[in-house]
Amino acid sequence: MIKSSISTEKLIEELRKLPGVGRKTAQRLAFHLLKVSKEEAGELSRAIQAAKEKVRLCSVCFGITEKDPCHICTDKTRDPGTICVVEQATDVFAFERTADFHGKYHVLGGSLSPLDGIGPEDIKVKELIERVNRESIEEIILATNPNAEGEATALYIARLLKPISIKVTRIARGLPVGSDIDLADEVTLSRALLGRSEY
């Protein structure tokens, strides 16, 4: 195997740390970056640096934002009585692409996974319950991923909310089991959201 320069190898190894990027994809990206102008490479570098410095978690929904609270939490036109609970901030972007959901969000920051040592204290479940007790919430939509961890998380939250008089629904099964929400297309997500059922 022909080895490239030390700098190129370092770039490939750093790119491989990105989710879903294997060795071949990392190599393609690295050689693409080497072909672009210094200005273009600098723009990418500055964009990454600016995002790292400016982007943070919203103190209300835990989505990503530059302004706290985020624009969704402060939007007066959105339904404050409906909260869609998702695992990751990328899921918020996926639902927003559908333009079918007009409520607010709560980002858990993960899902329950005892095998990986992730329990309720490692995700934003406590904050969700505090929010439900603090705000006038009518419905919680559980939109965790349709896999074992997502289902366990949804069931756990539903049980916690049972003593509180609140409607708890689960998105419909329009999503393939074992996939991630942020990979679904807009039509599938819209159908899943509209066909949700009470938990």
Domain 6-54 has CATH 1.10.8.420: yes
Which of the listed ranges 153-157, 171-175, 180-184 does the model predict with the highest average pLDDT?
153-157
* Residue 147 half-sphere exposure toward CB, CA atoms < 13 A: 11
CA distance linking residue 193 with residue 96, whole number of Å: 12
CA distance linking residue 136 with residue 18, whole number of Å: 39
User: Does pLDDT of 103 surpass 90?
Assistant: yes
What pLDDT does 4 receive? 66
What pLDDT does 197 receive? 72
CA distance linking residue 32 with residue 100, whole number of Å: 37
Query: What confidence tens digit (pLDDT) does each residue in 29-86 have?
Result: 999 999 999 999 999 999 999 999 999 999 999 999 999 999 999 999 999 999 999 9
User: Does pLDDT of 2 surpass 60?
Assistant: no
The pTM of this model reads 0.80
User: Does pLDDT of 155 surpass 70?
Assistant: yes
Please, which residues have CB within 8 angstroms of residue 138's CB and are 6 or more apart in sequence? 81, 82, 166, 167
Q: Read off the pLDDT band of 174 (50, 70, 90).
A: low
CA distance linking residue 88 with residue 93, whole number of Å: 9
Span(s) in the chain for CATH 1.10.8.420: 6-54
What pLDDT does 148 receive? 86
Is the peptide bond preceding residue 69 cis, with omega within 30 degrees of 0?
yes
CA distance linking residue 192 with residue 159, whole number of Å: 22
Q: Which residue has the tokens 């919680």?
A: 140
Span(s) in the chain for CATH 3.40.1360.10: 61-170
User: Using CA atoms in the order 122, 85, 51, 96, what is the torsion angle rounded to 10 degrees?
Assistant: 170
Please give the full DSSP string across 141-185, using - where no structure is assigned: EE---SSHHHHHHHHHHHHHHTTS--EEEE--TTSPTT--GGGS-
Please give the full DSSP string across 11-27, using - where no structure is assigned: HHHHHHTSTT--HHHHH
Q: Read off the pLDDT band of 1 (50, 70, 90).
A: very low
Report percent pLDDT > 90 for the chain. 78
Q: In terms of CATH architecture, what is 61-170? A: 3-Layer(aba) Sandwich (3.40)
